[in-house]
Amino acid sequence: MENRVIYLDILRIISIIAVIFIHVSMESWMNFSMNSSSWQISNVFNSISRFAVPVLIMVSGVLFLNPRKAIDFKSIFNKYIFRIATAFIFWSALYALFNGILLYKDINISMLKFSAKRFIIGEYHMWFLYTIVGMYIITPFLKKIVENRKLTEHFIILSFIFGILIPTLQEFPILNKTVFISDKLNLFFFFGYSFYFVLGYYLFSYHLSKPIKNILYILGILSFIVTLLSTNLLVHYNKIKYLSTDYGYEINLMPHIALISVVIFLTFKDKLNLEKSTKHNFIFKLSTLSFGAYLIHVLFIKILSLLGLSSGLFNPLFSIPLISSIVILLSFFSSYLLSKVPYVNKYIL
């Protein structure tokens, strides 16, 4: 095993586990009444796991923006994007056919048309693949930015303001009237997940002063509370928009989630900074299986739901951890088995 930064592997593993908790909790979160204790319990599990995707993007930023890692457009397209594309084609086809057969109970023209449309869109969790491809494409430009610490800090500040803070404020009445102003500025380079991509590299590369860390930790803890309250508020404000699987994409780009993600990253960096260790084969192996576990876990959630085992079956306080644990074990074990198949590990995991 090559020398690894162990806390990055651990962050990747717990982020995948958190993603599974989010998706398992979605059924009860989307179907129970907001006024019920079951919905609030589901909201807690959902909210405390929301660091998952931002931290995954941050870890990718550490690895891809590393100045010692030579990356050009040729390697980006031929190696990294090609692998994502082959994985998407395989898993999207699998999910599309699974959903089509489940809906139509037969293989016919209507089922094939439905599956074709679903194939292009991808299953609800596969938006992440589109996002990571976007990050790969702009990596050569971002690598130029992170060569200079001050320029990196300016990028992080601007992307936080224009890509996270302002869009979040515009979700609320009155302030949403200002959307046209930010649209006219056309600062799209600072929008989206490039904030986390660059932020991950910055937090990995530079040491923050203790006072700044303490402030971030306090804000991060407060942000957990804000996440719970803001979810209630946003769902009440626009149930159709926020009580859906698309909500995850938007909430990941909100200030409180950014702060929580920073705290999670810094905590593992400070407490588990075991660089260049060669004694963590199990963690390393789990980390290499995490992408496969991410791709396949929704299939197991669907199968368990068909068997009558879902987070809405009984008290979410117990059902969500139980079902999540089952899905985690099945997903990582399946990823392990698939990794033993020739070419599968290289092209679809």
pLDDT digits (tens, 9 = 90+) for 90-108: 999 999 999 999 888 888 8
Q: What is the pLDDT of residue 237?
A: 63
Helix, strand or coil, per DSSP, at residue 159:
helix
Question: What predicted TM-score, i.e. pTM, was given to this entire model?
Answer: 0.91
Four-point Cα dihedral 276, 279, 283, 289, nearest 10 = 80
Gap between the Cα atoms of 156 and 200, Å rounded: 10
Q: What is the pLDDT of residue 251?
A: 82
Residue keyed to tokens 């994007």: 81
284, amino acid identity: F
pLDDT digits (tens, 9 = 90+) for 192-234: 899 999 999 999 999 999 999 999 999 999 998 888 887 777 6
Confidence check: pLDDT of 273 > 80: no
pLDDT digits (tens, 9 = 90+) for 104-144: 888 888 888 999 999 998 899 999 999 999 999 999 999 99
